[in-house]
Amino acid sequence: MGRNVLIGVTGSIAAYKAAELVRLFVKNGDEVRVLMTPAACEFIAPLTFQTLSRNPVAVDQFAQPAEWKPEHISLAEWADIALVAPATANTIAKMAYGLADNLLTATLLATRARVAVAPAMNDGMWGSQAMLENIEKLRSRGVLVMSPGEGDLACGRRGLGRMPEPADILEALK
């Protein structure tokens, strides 16, 4: 479809699904750039996303920018769509309160692109009052919050909180 899709990957075991998501967007004809939180790098390597997107991967908020603009501004302006997948409870809370303490959250705060989140977390976290309020706050600002899937969770329980499947995310953003 030829869109500029910025995918933010956060520190969740579901980060492995983001690799398939990048592949699907590229196959769809979109230009993809990936931003990772430092915690995401504990689950999957930036090289994976660089190879699949054919673009450098941004992680460090204070790295030397490739352009004269700070990287969070150039990425914010570049994006047509900013998708956080997986979106952890921590990152969703930061988004709800406008915190910008890493490259991803700073970019999200600066962008005028359509923003979407694909949550991934434990069912207890997903159903908490704090999360419900954070989700409501994001939706009131026009953020597309996808519903998490139900099934086996990384904590060993079964419940609502799985990141939506990559094909379903792609379809929701068409």
What is the model's pTM? 0.94
- Chain-wide mean pLDDT for the chain? 93
Domains of the chain: 4-172 (3.40.50.1950)
| Selected catalytic residue, list 144, 155, 160, 172 | 155
Report residue 66's pLDDT band, with 50, 70 and 90 as the boundaries: low
Going by C-alpha positions, the residue among 149, 121, 153 that lies closest to residue 134 is 121
Quick: pLDDT tens for 128-148: 999 999 999 999 999 999 999
Going by C-alpha positions, the residue among 88, 79, 77, 73 that lies closest to residue 36 is 88
Rg (CA), the chain: 15
Query: What is the end-to-end Cα distance of the chain in Å, rounded?
Result: 8
Going by C-alpha positions, the residue among 7, 34, 15, 32 that lies closest to residue 163 is 15
Return the pLDDT at 91: 98
Return the pLDDT at 1: 63
Taking residues 51-77, report their average pLDDT.
80
Taking residues 79-106, report their average pLDDT.
97
Return the pLDDT at 102: 94
41 is catalytic: no
28: pLDDT strictly greater than 70: yes
